[in-house]
Structure 1
Amino acid sequence: MGLNDKSRKRNAASWRERIQDGEMSSRSQTERKKRPLPRPSYPGLPQEAPDPAVIPGPTRRTGNSRNGPSRYDTPPQRRTSRPSPKEEYEGNPEREEENRPARAGTMRRPRFTIFGALLFVLLMPFRFIGSLTRNIRWFICWPLRILLGCCFVGIVIGAILVFLYGTISNRYDISEVKSNIPERTVILDRKNRTIGTLHGENRKRVSLQEVPPVFIDALLLREDNRFYDHGGVDWIGVGRAFAQVLKHKRATQGASTLTMQLAKITYNHRERNLHSKLTEVALAKRIEATYTKDEILETYINRIFWGHTFLGIAAAARGYYDKEPRDLSLAECATLAGIIYGPNDFSPIKHPEEAKKVRDIVLGLLKNEGKITEVQYQAALAEPIVTRTPQSRSEENYAMGLVRRELDAILEEEDIRLGGLVVHTTLDLDLQNATLDAINKHMDALEARKDFKKHLASLQAKREKRGILKNKLTTKAEYEASLAAWKALPAEQKEKTQPPMPNYIQSAAVVMDNATGALLAVVGGRDAEESKLNRAIQSRRQTGSLFKPFIYATFFQQGNSADTRISDDRIAYGEIRGAANWSPRNSDGTYRGMKPASFGLILSRNTMSVRIGNRAGLSNVIQSAQLAGFHGNISRTPALYLGTWEASPLDIASAYSVFANGGVRPTPYIIDHITDSQGQPRFAITKSKRTVYSQRAANITSSILQQVCKPGGTAGKITTLGFKSPCGGKTGTTNNYTNAWFAGYTSNLTCSVWVGFDSSTKILEKGYGGTLALPVWVDIMLAAQKEGYPANAIRTRPGSEGQAVLVCRESNQLAHSGCQYAKTAYFETSAGYQAPANMCEQHIPMAEPDSEESIPYAEPLDGSDDNIPLAEPVEETDGIPYATPI
């Protein structure tokens, strides 16, 4: 073989090798033989000898010859497609190094992740604990590691809970602890005596100074004996409670402090779980940081529930013992402190034996701590459990109905919800009670009459014939007996039967001050517990002859006099405008001819009253009556002259005060002013008056009404009934004797009385106002005189409010500082009140102030002009700014 053949073979072999290398590169990485990486060269390092280069043999022609390529030339390299990623990595030493499997003894570089970083941070404390304890023996090392690890976990969990419940507690308004304490609004009469309460809750706030110190000691020993030492949470108590849980396998002892209890009752946390307890802990910390210990304790005793409906120490003392907190005895203080844990289970009223047990426990705590002596301890142990609930009278509800209605119109919703106000009313509680007693006295006497019982039986028989079986007409005694029988029935029978409804003779009365319009007594029925209808303000009845004085006053307003002659004969057809065919008769069936106008009012003559109304004009009569206080729907017909207008006893009393005031009607009111619990004013009544008639017209009518109350008038029996003071008034009786009225006045008071059934039922044959309502009025006014409302000469001009006089209600003498401290002093403002001459001797005056000589006074300036500083006037220069007109 020649040289050319040998070189050709070598070139062909090298070409085949290159082809095979290309095929190998297209194979998978696992199949091809990896080429060794080239060794990097660095200056100064010995290098390996390079492989000998393969030099191809000479060729006859080259690709750049002029004659073109030859078949003997080296074949050109094929253009291959872009290498795959695997091939790129094989060609790149760095990438191949990254993808190369880790060899034994080497670690892969970790990648950064959030989870890994978090895990590293969480495990770092445990690694730190491990590094600290690696040189300690194993039997000490591992328990120590577990202990330190648990402490770390506890700290982390505690920090999370502190942050979480601190955030939750910030959502609560901490100011509500002291400010948002709903309490009852107290209603006082004109002598500062409590009539009742409204709105809010059964609570009255008191200060720590108004509570016996022994009660505070008993409360702290019973509920939280380390109250002044902890910061809201008693950790010693928590540990003790936890130990009891481990011992008894259940919660037998609480760990709540007074501050935690205050947080619970303030924000109404009723659930008993871990979440609520932790929330209370956070709130207790905030409360302790905001308020002092005394403020927390004072708020606690005013908020806590003491059983029944009693909220706060004042309500509990009042409800259980009818006392003020400062008057509680040692045994009573121990009892109230002991029953807080379970007020319903240890109630002195329902469970006196259980209350005695907890009381004795608290007394023992007081003795062991040295708060009481052995003698006091034994005396308190011997004291029996005795409760005395306060007595309340049902007539208070009738007066309270009017007060409630007025308050709803005056107060905002927030004031009504929170309560805590003191409402000073114009009511006189003594006169209120006397009015109710007078009503019940005469109604009981009426029901005891044989003719009334016979009449009642006849009415009931007629009702039964008509098929009216419900709401039977009875006397009050019969109703109470049937109600007691129904209450004695078994529960199953009670559900099947309805309780009896009261349907007996009723009465209502209103007493007001002529000069001011202040309401002194409002009684709407015989028993507010049996009937809630306040007939004094809610029931409107026809007035009958009671309306006639306003017809005559309108007649006199037009210039007529009491001596003006008016015919008492029959009314001719067509004589009365608007009622051509109407011809009313007199009640006695007689006719007297021409008589003075006063004759018609004194004897209540129907024909004369209709003629006087006809001359005065129907529209004029209606207008003056509305000014006098008559309201509601009216019948604009001449029948109005005989009293078809319906009115309530309150309307009648207000209207009749016109004749005792020289033609001026004061607006009636029952609320004088309102203060908060600290005595700061919140509302004051604006008193107003209205002129209805001229003094002449009012005085003429008043003089005639005074004649009515003398022998010969329709109310002539008033003197025989015992009332001999100057007075004026008018009786009223409606058709078929369904309503009996009397309205009268003295120099100071006006009183209206109504008698009748709730339904339009005949009271009694010849049941006139002078025989049924007048006796009630007399007893009320006699009681008023005893209570300090004298009846002097009737005024002929408008009265004015008298000067306020500070009086002691216990001694009825002038009050001093001792009476004010005892809370028996009040301001008497009744018109015409005769102030007593002597000071109260029943109470001890407080310390007198210093004499005038020891009181420093500011020295006045010298009166000369030189010593009086005057303001320098401004010179009129261009520097004075003036407003530029538009």
Structure 2
Amino acid sequence: MSEHTSRGSSSKAQDRSQHNQSKKPRKKKKKSGKVWFYSIFFAIVFGIVAAIVGYSAIIINGERLLAQHGDKLNFGEASIIYDAEGVEIARLYDVNENREVAEFSEIPQVVLDAFVATEDRRFYEHSGLDFISIGRAVVKDIIARSAVEGGSTITQQLAKNVFLSADKTLFRKATEASIAVALENQMSKEQILTMYLNRIYYGRGIHGIKAAAEYYFDTELEDLQLWQAATLAAMPKAPNRYNPISNPEASYERRAVVLQLMYEQEYITKEEMEKAKAVQYVQPEHGEKYNNAKYTAFVDYVVEEAVEKTGLTEEELRVGGYSIYTTLNAAAQDAMDEQFANPENFEESVDDELAQGSMIIIDHQNGEIKALSGGRDYVKKGWNRVTKKRQPGSSYKPLIAYGPALESGNFTPSTTLNIDRTCFGNYCPSDKWGATAVSMQQALQDSRNLAAVWLLNEIGLKKADEFATKLGVGLKDSEYNLASALGGLEQGFSPLEMATAYSIIANDGKTVDPHTIRSIKGKKSEVEIYSYKAPKTEQLIKPTTAAYLTQMMQKVVESGTGKSAKIDRPVAGKTGTTQHGIPNHKGNENRDVWFVGYTAEWTAAVWMGYDNTDAKHLLKKGSSQAASMFAKVMKPALASIPKQSFEPIEEKPVEPEKPVMGALSYTFDEENIKVTLNWSVAYEGDVVFEIFRAEQNSGNFVHFGETEGKLTLEDMSVFPGQNYQYYVVAHDLENNISSEPSNTVSIDIPDMELNVPETPMDDGGTDDDWVEGNPYPPDNEVTPTPPPSTEAPPETMEPTPPASTDPGSTNEPITTPDGEQGSNNEGDGGLIDELLNSAGNHAGNNGGNRAGNNGGNHAGNNGSNHAGNGM
């Protein structure tokens, strides 16, 4: 009993011990959970308290700032643009210009819906700050490690106009948030939205929704339709880019985005969305009354460049009080504007659509854009044709055909193009000259189509495209065809791109970086927020290629198709014309005409044509009108610029590539006592191979035979116990070029018994003289050679190794590869004599002659003659 009790007590104690041990970890875990709970709890409390304190601080600070600076909600300070001489040429913002204030009652609901859906979908729900958008912006900023995402509400955008600092810093964002909250506390949503819509910049000097409705649609604000409201709502992010006048395609695409947002947020139906998307914009005729400023196209280009370089929005840039210093040459721009305003420089249209044009001038030495014209009526339309792509026509020939040919080193301006055909597969370019030989210079001067296509075919599209790509005007995959030699491209290039490509040529083949801004300084400060830094200069094409192109294109202007571009200083350039390409239209009118050229100082590109090409809107004249515009603008534009000249270049003859002999090898057929020689050659042209042989290690090499197109030769004239050496030379007879000799091979023929015929051979015999049983019947290739004579040799001379690849005339001794000399071969050798006369003779040391019926004898160092019918 006691024993049982004892064991039971012991068992219980053991159970309790195990139970306690098992409970210890749970106690520890429970304690750890409390720590985490309290840590999280106090962190949340601290965060809430911090948020409340921070939000209170934002409210207090915002109220204070709004009280102090509320009057600044009106407008900012204009940024000013200066020309290259520091003279003011434009103000980007004027508080009294092109502005009408709209009341909330005048704004249709469709306009309010379009802007809210696009700019701030939770506008009616938040109190100035959209924390969801802010959170998204913070995440993107962290990922990018910089402030890249705005996350601003409409209220914040309105507040931002009070403090115009453009840097995306936390301080500025906090200030912006403070004022936004204060605005929400003091103003209704209607008031905020009305003030916002009245402040927005819509491009072209237009501020406010009311003025925008009238300018872009010639309608009252309250009458705006859905597609029009969506068009205006698309613009705040980038007014110049997304307004329908400056860029109708981008505006059309952005409008579709706005309509999609409105549909997704259930402001409109799908049917309404599709209908509004389909409307095509047509600008009203009264637009010119809104802007009479000078240099409008140049200023708009400057604004876009400044936005790209600084990261400022257009609104921030325009009303931020910045000083923008540009590259504009006022004299050049005035000369250009004067000529583009003169209707006599353009063809007369059959209706109200004007024949158009554009022009750009670049200083190719530093890349500064000196002047540009976006079109005859740029103030009215804002369509900058300097940046719009058109077919370049023959102005593309120097970039895709002649330039690559010169770059290859195989052509110079005087090289004759032996044009041997008029069709290339199914492509037969039109050309009045036809297939005739012509120099490269003359071909470019006349702008011959067939010559350019033939040259491109010779060079190859890949090499040509590599060259053009370096100049920024490479081919698309769909343009890899010979028609590209004539500028028949799918999309083409803009005047800016063509001027840049020609600028590289004018700059000795070095890079050119076109730009309009030198520096930008901050508001009321001399601190530069941007300063142009030229990229590292690279040599894109050979200086000789650039010099040759300049030389050739000077002739184009002096006496070729570009004569109308002549001015009082040297000019190089090329015209370009593209045919209309309209199906079923039989006229000879043109779609585009060009002149792209340069002086030693500046490069310019001129394009003329219609914006919308059809059978009624084509040019009747050719490229001479573009060349004339070049001259009329460039002469006064350069009047104050010191004259320079192109550096002359001495044309050096092109050294043709020589054939390169590969390894010479041999095999010996003991049964037939025959040596077979084999070799290879690296050369694209047609060659004749001349084989030389020496006997008994004499080094006295003589002409042995030749082949045309074959890389092998059999020698059946070897004798047992003798040694023979061979080498081969390749000759291009048409171009009078010879290769270096191949390697020399030496062959020892093993001793063996020969069945020598008893009937002797007659050196002067014919085929009939061969008797039955003669082991060497005639085969018109090689005849056997008897053993060397045992007679005492005449006076001996030193052995003669292989001849050089450029032997001298037949009247002079030749120098062998080892520096020795020997006499020349003479005789009637047919093709061999032609080879010897054009490329030099190879001779033995005893003056042995080659003679015979079909080829001649081979003389060795012992004076023995080998004769027969075969050679």
TM-score range, shorter chain: 0.3 to 0.5
Alignment TM-score, normalising by the size of structure 1:
0.41
Alignment TM-score, normalising by the size of structure 2:
0.42
When Rg is computed on C-alpha atoms for both structures, the one with the higher figure is 1
